[in-house]
Amino acid sequence: MALTALCGVAGSAGGEVGQVYVDQSGQYFIREATEEDGGLRRSKRVRTATAVTADAAMVQASGEAGQTVQLAAGGQAVAAAAGGAYQTVTLVPSDGNSDEVSYVLIVQPDAEEGQKQEGDDQTIGVYDFDDGDEQPEEEESGEEDDKARVTRIAPRKSSQTVSQAHMCSYCNYTSPKRYLLSRHMKSHSEERPHKCSVCERGFKTLASLQNHVNTHTGTKPHCCKFCDANFTTSGELVRHVRYIHTKEKPHTCPECDYSSVELSKLRRHMRSHTGERPYQCPHCTYASPDTFKLKRHLRIHTGEKPYECDICGSRFTQSNSLKAHRQIHSGEKPVYHCELCPTTCGRKTDLRIHVQKLHTSDRPIKCKRCGKSFPDRYSFKLHSKTHEGEKCFKCDLCPYMSTSQRHLESHMLVHTDQKPFVCQHCDQSFRQKQLLKRHVNLYHNPNYIPPQPREKTHECPECGRAFRHKGNLIRHLAIHDPEASAAEKQLALKLGRETKVTVRAAIQPLRHWTALDQQPMEMYEDEGEEEVGLGGEAQQQGRGGGAEQKMVAVQGQDGQQYVVLEVIHLQDANGEEQTVAVVPDSALSQAAGAGGSGIDMQLAAGPAASSIDAAQLGTDVSLADDGLPADLLPQAAGEGAGGEQPRRPTTPGGRRRVDDQAVQKSKQDMQNCFGFDDDEEDVDFLAAGGKKEAVEMM
DNA sequence: ACATTGAGCGCCCTCTGCTGGGGTGGC
DNA sequence: AGCCACCCCAGCAGAGGGCGCTCAATGT
C-alpha cells in the first residue's frame, strides 16, 4: 500500500488538515479534510498528511506498504524496509524545538498484531487493524462495514493505553459494541435501499422513507399540545414548541445577548459580528452573509420582480414592498401619529424622521423677531405663525419694514451701495438678480423678445389711472391720501433709503447685519459668524445731541471687521426731521481730492456724531459732515463719543451741512433701487440708458 | 424494528432602517 | 420662478423568526 506518514506539531491548537495533533489528554489524532463543524474530528486513519516539523518545514514522506517511514524532527524521512500485514503507526516525540514538541510518525509493519490489540503499553500511537482485512486500494470507497477498524492509540509519554473500542475507519465514530459500529457504517454508505413509491427517491432508513412519504400524503402525525399545529416529524414539533410556546433558546451568542432555538441560527447571527460574507454576487461587489440575501439581491441584476399587485399589476422585488404597496389600494394604510404635534405619517420611519427634524434640536432656537427661545423647530414654527403679517424686520437706517428677513437683507443693499450682480458684458451692476437678468436681456441678448406688456388692470378709484401692478397702484394711492400719512411714509422711506454706509471689507451675507439693540440672530449661529456689538458705553456715547443712533458691527471669526453702521436722524430747530445724507467714500474722496483710505464709514452729517469705539472694532470710523475726508479733519477730542477718533466739526445748533456733491452721488447711487421698484418705469429707465437724474428721485 | 431526539440545511417571511426620487405647498 | 421643507413612495439590505425536510444518533 502507499502510505504517507507524517509528523505533526504537538499541542498545536489549529493547523493544516492532515496534521497530527496531540490533545491535552495525550491522545493523538489527525484532522481530516472533511471536517466541517469547526471542531477537530479525530481520525485514526492515516492516508495523507503533511509533516510539520519543529521548524515549520513541511515535509512529506511516503512509504510503501510494509515499509517503515520515520520522520525525524528536522523533517527528514527515513524509510525502512518492513513486512507484514499490518501497519503500526508510531508517534515519537522528537527533541527538536524547545517551544514546540514535534512528533515523529513512524509507519512500520506490524507482525504482532495480536499483541498490539491487547494493548501494549510500550507501543506508542498504534494503528491497529483488528480484522486484518487489508484492502488498501479500496480505502477511498468507504462503503463496507469491513472498513471499520478498531484502533488504539496512546502516547508514549503517558504510557497510556486506550481501552479497546470499535472505531469507524472513515470518521471518528467509536462504539463499544460491534453491531453498533456495523449500524453506523451504513451512514458511510451511499446505498439507499428504501425507495419511495411516489417519487422513487431512495432513503437509507425506513424511518426516513416514512417521513418522506408523509410529506407526499400530507400526514402530520405529530400534534402540538399547545396549539393546532401538526408536523411531519417529532423533531419539527419540538422545535415548533420551542419557537412558539416555551421560547427555549439553548444557543447563546458569546458576544451579545442573542440566543436562538437552532444552532444554525446562532451561526448565522455570528456572521453579523464577524462580518463574514461568504456569498459573493457574481455581477457586482455585493456579498451576502447568507444565501437568501444573495438570492434576493440577484433580482436587481435579473430584473426579476416576483411580487405582483393583483389590483394594479405593479411588480416588486420584495414581498414587503408589495405588502406596503397594497395598503395604498386597500386604504388600510397605517397612520402613525406624532405624539408632539398633529402630524401623521404613513410609515414609522417617516414619523421618526419627522420627529428628528421637527421636535429635536441641539440647542434652543431663538426667534429673530421677538427674541424668544424655543426648544425645537416645531414650536418655533408655531410661534412664527403669531408673527404672520407683522413687519417685524425693520431697517435701522430708514423706515423700511418687511415681513421677511430676506427682504430686509435685500433692502440693506440700498444702504451699502452693494450691487453684487455684475453684468459680464458691461460695467453695470445690480442689486437684484432679476434686474441683472433683465438688463442682460435688454442690452446683451439680441435674441431676447420682450414680453408683451401686460394689461393695466389696477385702476385708481380716485383718478382712474391704471397700473399693471398692484404695488404701483398702492404707491399711487398715497397721492390721494387725505391725511397725507401714506405720502409721508413714502417720502420718509424714500429719504431713508438715501442713508448710505460704506464698508471697507467685503460684506458677508447681509443677514448678519444686526442693529446693536437687536438680539443676535441665533438662527445663524452655525455659520461661523460672531456678532460684535458695541459696548453699552459706546452706545451711550453714540446717543448724543438728540440724535438717534444705531451702530452695527459684525465681525467674522477670523477677526476681520465686516460692517460698521452709524445712523443719525436729526431734527432741525423746528423739530422737523432733517434730511441726512451719508456720503460714500468715493464721493468724499472726490470732493476732497484725496482718498478716504482707512476710513471705514463716513456719515455726511451729524452734530453729535460719534465714532465707533475703534479700539473695540479695530476700525476707523468718523463722520463726514462736510464732505471732507476724515483724515483731513482736526481732532475733536472730547466731543461726542469716541473722542479718541478724529472728529469732524459740527455746525452750531446741531445742523449739519450736507455736502451737495456727496448727496448727488448718493442719489445717483440710489437711483437703481428706487427706479427698479417700479418695473414699468424701470424698463423705460433702462431703455434711456440706465440713468436718472437724482433730482427726480428726490 | 421502532420510536425519539436533535442537528443541519434550506427556504420563505417579517420587521426594520436607510436612501433617493418625485410631488406639493409655502415662502 | 425658484427654492426649500415636507411628505409619500419604492427600492434595497440587515437581521431574525419559523418551518419543511432529511438524516444521524440513540434508546427500548
pLDDT digit string, tens, across residues A167-187: 776 666 677 777 777 777 766
The grid coordinates listed for A346 are 404613513
As beta bridge partners, residue A326 has: none
pLDDT at A586 over 50: no
Q: What is the pLDDT of residues A339-355, one digit of tens each?
A: 666 666 666 666 666 66
pLDDT at A274 over 80: yes
CA of A526 to C1' of B14 (A): 42
Average pLDDT on A118-143 reads 30
CA of A207 to C1' of B3 (A): 9
* Packing angle, helices A405-416 and A660-675, rounded to 10: 150
pLDDT score for A201:
74
Please name the residue whose C-alpha is nearest to the C1' of nucleotide B2.
A207
pLDDT score for A175:
72
- Counting every residue written for chain A, the total comes to 698
A411 three-state secondary structure: helix
Q: For cell 479500496, name the residue.
A: A138
pLDDT at A404 over 60: no
pLDDT score for A171:
67
pLDDT at A284 over 80: yes
Q: For strand C, give the nucleotides within 7 A of a protein CB.
A: 5-26
Residues A276 and A534: their CA atoms lie apart, in Å, by 62
The grid coordinates listed for A301 are 441584476
Average pLDDT on A46-73 reads 26
Average pLDDT on A424-436 reads 68
A300 three-state secondary structure: helix
Footprint of strand B on the protein (CB under 7 A): A 36-37, 206-207, 233-235, 238-239, 262-264, 267, 291-292, 295, 318-320, 323, 348-349, 352-353, 388, 404
Give the nearest nucleotide to A317, CA to C1'.
Answer: C11
pLDDT at A308 over 70: yes
Average pLDDT on A84-93 reads 28
> Where is pLDDT greater, at A518 or A227?
A227
- Quickly state the pLDDT bin for A257 (edges 50, 70, 90): confident
Is A173 (CB) below 7 Å from strand C? yes
Average pLDDT on A145-150 reads 35
- Quickly state the pLDDT bin for A224 (edges 50, 70, 90): confident
What are A573-578's contacts with CB under 8 Å, separation 24+? A573/A653, A573/A655, A577/A492, A578/A655, A578/A656
Give me the A residues in range 5-64 that sit within 7 A (CB) of strand C.
Answer: none
- Expressed in percent and rounded to 5, the helix, strand and coil fractions of chain A are 30, 20, 50
pLDDT score for A30:
41
Give the nearest nucleotide to A320, CA to C1'.
Answer: B14
Q: What is the pLDDT of residues A198-209, one digit of tens each?
A: 777 777 777 777
As beta bridge partners, residue A68 has: A80
Looking at every residue in chain A, the average pLDDT score rounds to: 51
- Quickly state the pLDDT bin for A263 (edges 50, 70, 90): confident
Give me the A residues in range 237-276 that sit within 7 A (CB) of strand C.
Answer: 239-240, 243-244, 258, 260-262, 265, 268-269, 271-272
CA of A312 to C1' of B21 (A): 21
Considering A93-107, A470-484, A566-580, the range whose residues carry the highest mean pLDDT is A470-484
Radius of gyration of chain A (CA): 48
- Quickly state the pLDDT bin for A469 (edges 50, 70, 90): low
Please name the residue whose C-alpha is nearest to the C1' of nucleotide C17.
A243
Residues of chain A with CATH 3.30.160.60: 392-447
pLDDT score for A291:
84
Considering A64-78, A267-281, A466-480, the range whose residues carry the highest mean pLDDT is A267-281
> Where is pLDDT greater, at A36 or A368?
A368
> Where is pLDDT greater, at A248 or A342?
A248
pLDDT score for A409:
64
Q: With 0-12 CB in 10 A as exposed, 13-18 as middle and 19+ as buried, what is A139?
A: middle
- Quickly state the pLDDT bin for A314 (edges 50, 70, 90): confident
> Where is pLDDT greater, at A112 or A166?
A166
pLDDT score for A356:
66
Q: What is the pLDDT of residues A628-644, one digit of tens each?
A: 233 322 232 333 333 32
Q: For strand B, give the nucleotides within 7 A of a protein CB.
A: 2-19, 27
pLDDT at A303 over 80: yes
Give the nearest nucleotide to A37, CA to C1'.
Answer: B8
pLDDT at A551 over 60: no
Considering A5-19, A530-544, A579-593, the range whose residues carry the highest mean pLDDT is A579-593
Parallel, antiparallel, or unpaired for β A336-337 and A421-422? Answer: unpaired
pLDDT score for A448:
60
- Quickly state the pLDDT bin for A231 (edges 50, 70, 90): confident
Average pLDDT on A157-162 reads 32
- Quickly state the pLDDT bin for A151 (edges 50, 70, 90): very low
As beta bridge partners, residue A337 has: A344
Is A212 (CB) below 7 Å from strand C? yes
pLDDT at A488 over 50: yes
CA of A379 to C1' of C13 (A): 36
Residues A296 and A293: their CA atoms lie apart, in Å, by 5
Looking at A162-166, A465-469, A524-528, which range is the least confident one?
A524-528
Residues A220 and A466: their CA atoms lie apart, in Å, by 91
pLDDT score for A459:
66
Instruction: Record the pTM.
Output: 0.39
Give the nearest nucleotide to A196, CA to C1'.
Answer: C22
Is A201 (CB) below 7 Å from strand C? yes
Which fold does the domain A392-447 belong to in CATH?
A: Double Stranded RNA Binding Domain (3.30.160)
